[in-house]
Amino acid sequence: MKIPMKYIVRSLFARRLTTAITIFGVSLVVFVFTAVLMMSDGIRQTLRGTGSSENVLIARKAANGEISSIITSNTYGVISSLPQIARGADGAPLITGDVVVVINLEKIGTDGGISNVTVRGVSPAALTLRPQIQVKEGRMFNWGAREVIVGSSIARRFQGAQVGSTIKFGGDNWTIVGLYDTGGDGFNSEMWGDVSQLQDAFRRGGSYSTVTFRLGAPDELEAVKKSFEDDNRLQQFEAKTERTFFEEQSEFMSIFISVLGIFITVFFSVGAIIGAMITMYAAVANRTVEIGTLRALGFKRRSVLAAFLVESFVLSLVGALVGMLLASFLQFVQVSTMNFASFSELEFAFALTGSTVFFTIIFALIMGFAGGFLPSIRAARLNIVNALRSA
């Protein structure tokens, strides 16, 4: 015979205090576990949403990121002659060479401190290739002037990064003339200016960090890659969709945060498992007569074992739901961290995804099994006669 679920649920309510304490402990561990996965997914989604799958980004193969990539003006000329590049209404190829540099700015707040900020030099075609750049305050920078526009996340977090301010880098003063917002992708954590001015200020000559262009047709990426393989002048460079490039930039940081966070969570989960185990052992001790009665009525050992395991699973699942509910509010929080690929500040939002919910529930069930297995074995092995004599 199987023990009815109603009995299991009523047993939990009969021990309200210990049940609540166990659920609280599990929910705290689940909150941390979920927050770590949400942080990892948030970084991945922020960089994955940067750029477009219709654009192709060219960088040096050995480069870890844009700041370590160099493309000479001669190579830029070869790339810009590729037949797969789309053309604008004026017949000019939709291609831009970007110069990406990192500068230091002081953070806003009581903690203060200095952090890195990415400055991107672009050509006019970049605004067509990346239409998500929308100036919300002030104006667009003038081409040929030492002016920049700043992403909204940078303006919120750094001193002197607001419209009308002047900042110094590259040996000169630059005026912030506008504030733009991209809706939360990686470009929102950058400053943009004229590429020729950045080249001059940082003595780059005619070289670029990366080159980005629009494909004439979505299925022409393979033809572009073959052109790079066949041309000796382009073999040291790699062509990827812009979205793929930035998504790959998130992998190392996302994995690092996940591994570190999960290690810390597993360490704390030991406490929650011990708490669940104590609760279940107490349940066995307090219900010895009940267990003996159930066995006398014909319920088998495996039914008693399953009943106590289900109780442990229920406690863990309730704790998981409470923990995930609390963690879900983190989606409204914007935080920033150092992007290991660009060595600059990156703002992102926590993201609660289906995979995070799935892995959190699995994690909670593992805690429930670990905490309830031994007490369940003890309950199943109780001698019927001895259990009834303890009344």
The Cβ of residue 389 has, within 10 Å, a number of other Cβ atoms equal to 11
Question: In this predicted structure, what is the pLDDT of residue 192?
Answer: 95
Measured distance CA(285)–CA(2) in Å, rounded: 21
Residue 384 in this model has a pLDDT that exceeds 70: no
* pLDDT per residue as tens digits for the range 17-71: 777 777 888 888 888 888 888 888 887 777 777 778 889 999 998 787 888 899 9
Q: Residue 149 — φ and ψ, nearest 5°?
A: -115, 150
Question: In this predicted structure, what is the pLDDT of residue 285?
Answer: 63
Average pLDDT over residues 274-289: 66
Residue that wins the pLDDT comparison between 386 and 350: 350
The Cβ of residue 259 has, within 10 Å, a number of other Cβ atoms equal to 12
Average pLDDT over residues 271-291: 66
Place of tokens 């494909």: 215
CB 316 within 8 Å of CB 368: yes
Question: In this predicted structure, what is the pLDDT of residue 151?
Answer: 92
CB 243 within 8 Å of CB 52: yes
Determine what percent of the chain is predicted with pLDDT higher than 90: 26
Q: How confident is the model at residue 143 (pLDDT cuts 50, 70, 90)?
A: very high
Cα dist from 371 to 268, 303, 311, 366, whole Å: 14, 18, 11, 8
- Which positions ≥6 away from 80 have C-beta within 8 Å? 93, 95, 211, 213
* pLDDT per residue as tens digits for the range 360-383: 898 888 888 877 777 777 766 666
The Cβ of residue 158 has, within 10 Å, a number of other Cβ atoms equal to 22
How, if at all, do strands 172-181 and 147-151 pair? parallel
What radius of gyration do the chain's Cα atoms show?
Answer: 29
* pLDDT per residue as tens digits for the range 315-372: 888 888 999 999 999 888 877 776 666 666 777 788 888 888 998 898 888 888 877 7
Q: How confident is the model at residue 264 (pLDDT cuts 50, 70, 90)?
A: confident
Q: Which tokens is 298 given?
A: 């014909």
HEC string of 94-146 equals CEEEEEEEEEEEEECCCCCCEEEEEEEEECCHHHHHCCCCEEEEECCCCCCCC
Q: What is the pTM of this model?
A: 0.77
Question: In this predicted structure, what is the pLDDT of residue 343?
Answer: 63
Cα dist from 120 to 117, 123, 245, 253, 270, whole Å: 10, 10, 16, 21, 47
70, 346, 41, 33: which is closest to 208 by C-alpha?
70
Residue 1 in this model has a pLDDT that exceeds 60: no
- Which positions ≥6 away from 259 have C-beta within 8 Å? none
169, 39, 156: which is closest to 109 by C-alpha?
156
DSSP 216: S
CB 117 within 8 Å of CB 344: yes
Q: How confident is the model at residue 136 (pLDDT cuts 50, 70, 90)?
A: very high
Average pLDDT over residues 96-125: 86
Q: How confident is the model at residue 149 (pLDDT cuts 50, 70, 90)?
A: very high
Residue 350 three-state SS: coil
* pLDDT per residue as tens digits for the range 181-228: 988 788 888 999 999 999 999 988 889 999 999 998 888 889 999 988
Q: Residue 10 — φ and ψ, nearest 5°?
A: -65, -35
91, 73, 99, 85: which is closest to 129 by C-alpha?
85
Q: pLDDT averaged over the chain? A: 82
Specify which of 6-10, 49-53, 256-260, 282-286 reaches the highest per-range mean pLDDT. 49-53
* pLDDT per residue as tens digits for the range 295-322: 666 667 677 677 777 777 888 888 889 9
Q: Which tokens is 272 given?
A: 């929650």
Question: In this predicted structure, what is the pLDDT of residue 157?
Answer: 87
Question: In this predicted structure, what is the pLDDT of residue 217?
Answer: 85
Question: In this predicted structure, what is the pLDDT of residue 296?
Answer: 66
